[in-house]
Structures are given as structure tokens and as C-alpha cells.
Amino acid sequence: MKFYKDHYDVIVIGGALAGLSSALMLADKGKDVLVLERHNLPGGIASSFVRGGIEIEAALHEMMSIGEKDNRLKVGKFFDDMGVDIEWLKVPEAYHASLPGLEVTLHPGLETFAKEVDAAVPGTYQKVLALLNLCNSVFDSVNELSIHPMSKAKMLIKHEAFVKTAGYTTQEVIDSFDLPKKAQDLLAPYWIYVGSGFSDLPFTIYSVLMADYIGYGSYIPRKFSHEMSLKMAERAEAMGVQIEYRQHVDKILVKNGKAYGVRTSRGDEIHADYVISSSYPNKVYTAMIEPASEVPKEAIKMVNGRRLSLTAFSVIMILDDTAEALGIKDYSVFRGDTMDTDALYKDLAGLGPYRYLTCICHNLGNDTATPPGTCSYSITTLPRVDGWKTVKAEDYDKIKHQVAEQMISDMSGYLGVNLRDHILEIVIETPMTVNRYTNAWNGCIYGYAHTMEDHIIARLQTAEAESFIKHLEFSGAHAISGDGMGPAVTNGRKAAKNVLDTMAVEEAAAK
Ligand SMILES: Cc1cc2nc3c(=O)[nH]c(=O)nc-3n(C[C@H](O)[C@H](O)[C@H](O)COP(=O)(O)OP(=O)(O)OC[C@H]3O[C@@H](n4cnc5c(N)ncnc54)[C@H](O)[C@@H]3O)c2cc1C
């Protein structure tokens, strides 16, 4: 049997969450799909690694859009519908906020959350609940409108909260609730998950973030994020998808403005009616389209015009004692010396010291995360790509260790335990690590930043105009929804839907 067939319906470049979601959805509709993954494993960032015989989560803090078994949100429902059977564990709290003058643990549930903010900042219950309810209304509208687009006139009547707040920044809407600064601070910690300061973050995006995470809680797979990608790959293969690992796609073949296949670095030329790329548009339009003359100028303008979102710097440790013995009380801690998101965002353009950290102790959400008598602890910051782009090879090691030392010192001070005395294993992930393992442009983990000019709704409106090459779709954190593992799944589904819709239109036209 030949390694590749003569022709596929769709080739998917990249076998991580987004690419595998596309593959699952297409296979479910009977399409013949080939996934080409450059690594020897599926998952991209949704992966784990082994040190000292212990499997360690590479990235995931928490998944959004999963929901309880009998009340699934869109990502959880997609996994269920596709037969991707994951053991989900609900994360016990929303977060512990460690901010100037505040040490507060907050739990999911809109009312619970508002009560807990009120306990820390008395007199704020009604206003905080009203703000969270507003977020929830916007969230419901976004979910409905993403499935059933409607006229502006109808939207005004059916989705008033969404329409009313759509042109406002997060800061503008929060200010309108006239909350004391401390309460505002307690409502801000998740900002880093969408990677824009509140003066430039559309309230719509903040609403989705808060309503999803606070309203429904977050989840982790028992066997780490790799459980998702491994089971997705397994299920896709069972549904007839061909997945080939260690196959780096060098070129996307285009003729007369239409993609018709790919060439791998091994030299295989493989043909298909459609190509879906997990590789960033920046990479595709500047280096992958063959011949390069097929790249429209507008495509280059588009990638130059978009602002890349955040990358990651993470210190991941296995410690030699239990969380309890080490005084680690919370699954998730957000710690900063300010909660001024604009100032923090500015700061993330540098190389540290970083003033905003997010820390996870997996054992407090997953009792089988590490062997008995140990625990895993990760300290993460999400810098912008700007600073890291300037690091010279000869300075990399020094800067990496400086940043890691600062983060370990900060959290050792917070916990009152010198973490260095307890490290069994330590791995430092940098933007370069992300780039090396996933090929992500500049090590970016969230695609393009959500700003007032460029966000999901604006992108939905310009999507058709930005479809520069026919039969080529993008599936990854860099596609419409941006940000994180849940949205990567949604983006993968959207790319598959675009392919299916185009197929239907072209088939109808050919009849
Ligand atoms: C430390 C850290 C913590 C994080 N925490 C969270 C969290 O708590 N919650 C959350 O939702 N998100 C989190 N994220 C972000 C999240 O991991 C990503 O947004 C998401 O996994 C992106 O998925 P993806 O499918 O778009 O891309 P990737 O995971 O980057 O995968 C791209 C895939 O395509 C393959 N590929 C690329 N180019 C080619 C090519 N030319 N040929 C063949 N294959 C190719 C790569 O090998 C890779 O497998 C975190 C990320 C990091 C680094």
C-alpha cells in the first residue's frame, strides 16, 4: 500500500486541538481526511512530558466551555458528540487573588462569586451580580448569534445587552457600575487569559470569559491536556482519518488562487480539494505558499496589521512533598503588585521582572496528578512576543534563568517556603520552547490579540474578504476566536464548517 493516497478531500496541517477538531468534524461528515503533524505526537501545546518517571502537564491550567455532564457547554458537547471520552475534573475554585491589600479565594457560580467579593469588599453584592448577569446575557447572545446570525433590527430587540455594550471597552463598562477599586481588582484577574489591557479589550470578550469561567466553572482532564489530544487522535483514526506524524509541511500548493495540496519537507507532494492550516497565517503567507506569486498583497497587509497576542514563560516543578505540607492551599493563584491591566500589559512587552504571575498546583484539582508524597507546581507569566524577539542566542540561557529565579523567589516569598529546597524536577518553558515544539509564530500561544479594532465580531464580518486563497482555511489559536485550548477547538470546528459549506455550494453549482 502506498503511504499516501492519490487524493484526499481535505489535508489538515497540524495534529493539535484545532487541527484534530477539524479532522473529527470532517470525518463525521464522511470526508476523506489526512492530518500531517510535524511532531511525533499529537497535541501541540496540549501535551505532557516525563521527567524522573513522572508525567507532567506541559501547559493547561484550566479549560473553558466544558460544563457539567448533563449541561455541557460547546467544547464539552463537541467532545461528547464526537465520542471523545474524557474524564473531566471540575477545578475547585475560580481563583485565589493575591493583590495589594487582598488575599481572597473566589469560587464559580455568579451569585457565589458576587457574595465572596462582597465579603471582601462589603456593600458590592448587587452591583457585582448585576455586572456578572450582564456578562451572562452577552455570553448567551454571542453563543446564539454564532449559530443563528440575524438582522441588525432583530438583534436590537432580542439581544439588547449585547448590542448596547458591543462598542465599549471592558474598562468603560466596569466603570459604569461605580464599584470600589478593590472590587474592580477582584473582577480582573482572568484578564491575562485574553491578553489585552481593559482599556483596549472589548467588553464582549470580557463577558464571554467571565460568564464561561465564573458561571460554569473550569475543568481539567484527569490525564492532563494530552488526554484530549491523544483521545481525539485515537477517535479520528477510528473514524477513518489518516494521521501521519513527523511530517512537516513546507509548502501549500496553489494554482489560480486555489489551494490543491501540500509538499512535505520529505518531498512528498500530496493532493487534496482543501487544505486547513494550523500554521499561523504569518508563516503561511510569507513562506509556505507555492508559488509565492500566488500570495495576494492584501494577505501580507492583513498579517502585518494584526497584533500578535501573548506567548508563555512557565516554570514547572515537581516538589518533594504534598501541597498541604508545603502550605499550598489553592489550585490557582493570580498574583500581582497591581491590578491595573493596562500597566501590566505594557510591562509584558519586556523581559521581566514580571509583575503578574499565575500559579497552579495540579494536585489540588487532580488527586492523581503526581505520585503520593509529591506535588506539581507551575508558575507562569504570559509575556508579549516583543521582548523575547530581541533576545540574542548568546543571552538566552542567562535571561531564561534570571526570569525563572525571579518567579521562584516571588512565589517562595508568598508561600513562606523556599521552593528551591523542594524541587525534584524542574522544566523552564519559554517562548522559544513553544516555537520549537509547535512551530507557533514567535512562540505565540493565543493567536492575534483581541482589541477594539480586531476581535471575534469584527473578524466574523471581515472573514470573507480575508479568505485570500480559495479552499485554504485556518484552524488554530490564530483563527477567529483566538485564545486558548477551548477556542482552538471552536476554531477547528469553524474551519471544518467553512470547508463543508463551500463544498455544498460548489456541488450545488456544479449540478
Ligand atoms: C504554559 C502554557 C499554559 C497554557 N494554559 C492554558 C490554559 O490554562 N487554558 C487554555 O485554554 N489554554 C492555555 N494555553 C494556550 C493553549 O495551549 C493554546 O492556545 C492552544 O493549545 C493552541 O492550540 P492550537 O491547536 O491552535 O495550536 P498548537 O498547540 O500550537 O498546535 C499546532 C500544531 O501544528 C503542528 N504544526 C505546525 N506547523 C506545522 C507544519 N508546517 N507541518 C506539520 N505540522 C505543523 C505543530 O507541531 C502542532 O502540533 C497555554 C499555553 C501555554 C504554553
Summarize pLDDT for 206-235 with one digit per residue, the tens.
999 999 999 999 999 999 999 999 999 999
Ligand 1: centre distance to CA 59 (Å): 9
CA-to-CA distance for 284 and 265, rounded, in angstroms?
Answer: 15
- Ligand 1, atom nearest to 485 Cα: 11
- Ligand 1, atom nearest to 446 Cα: 19
CB 135 within 8 A of CB 143: no
Ligand 1: centre distance to CA 178 (Å): 38
Higher pLDDT, 155 or 289: 289
Summarize pLDDT for 145-163 with one digit per residue, the tens.
877 777 777 888 889 999 9
Ligand 1: centre distance to CA 45 (Å): 4
Joined together, the cell numbers standing for residue 307 give: 497584533
Strand 54-57 relative to strand 48-51, pairing: antiparallel
CA-to-CA distance for 104 and 260, rounded, in angstroms?
Answer: 55
CA-to-CA distance for 414 and 437, rounded, in angstroms?
Answer: 32
Summarize pLDDT for 347-391 with one digit per residue, the tens.
999 999 999 999 999 999 999 999 999 999 999 999 999 899 999
Ligand 1: centre distance to CA 445 (Å): 6
- Ligand 1, atom nearest to 64 Cα: 11
**310: confidence class by pLDDT, cuts 50, 70, 90:** very high
Joined together, the cell numbers standing for residue 135 give: 456578562
Atom 41 of ligand 1, residue of closest alpha carbon:
249
**1: confidence class by pLDDT, cuts 50, 70, 90:** low
Task: List pocket residues of ligand 1, CB cut-off 6 Å.
Answer: 13-19, 36-39, 44-46, 59-63, 248-249, 278-279, 312, 314, 380, 429, 434, 438-440, 445-446, 476-477, 484-486, 488
Atom 51 of ligand 1, residue of closest alpha carbon:
59
Look over the chain and give the mean of its residue pLDDT values, rounded to a whole number. Answer: 95
Summarize pLDDT for 440-462 with one digit per residue, the tens.
999 999 999 989 988 877 887 78
CB 18 within 8 A of CB 278: yes
**102: confidence class by pLDDT, cuts 50, 70, 90:** very high
Reduced to 3 states (helix: H, G, I; strand: E, B; else coil), residue 466 is coil
Ligand 1: centre distance to CA 413 (Å): 32
DSSP 8-state class, residue 130: H
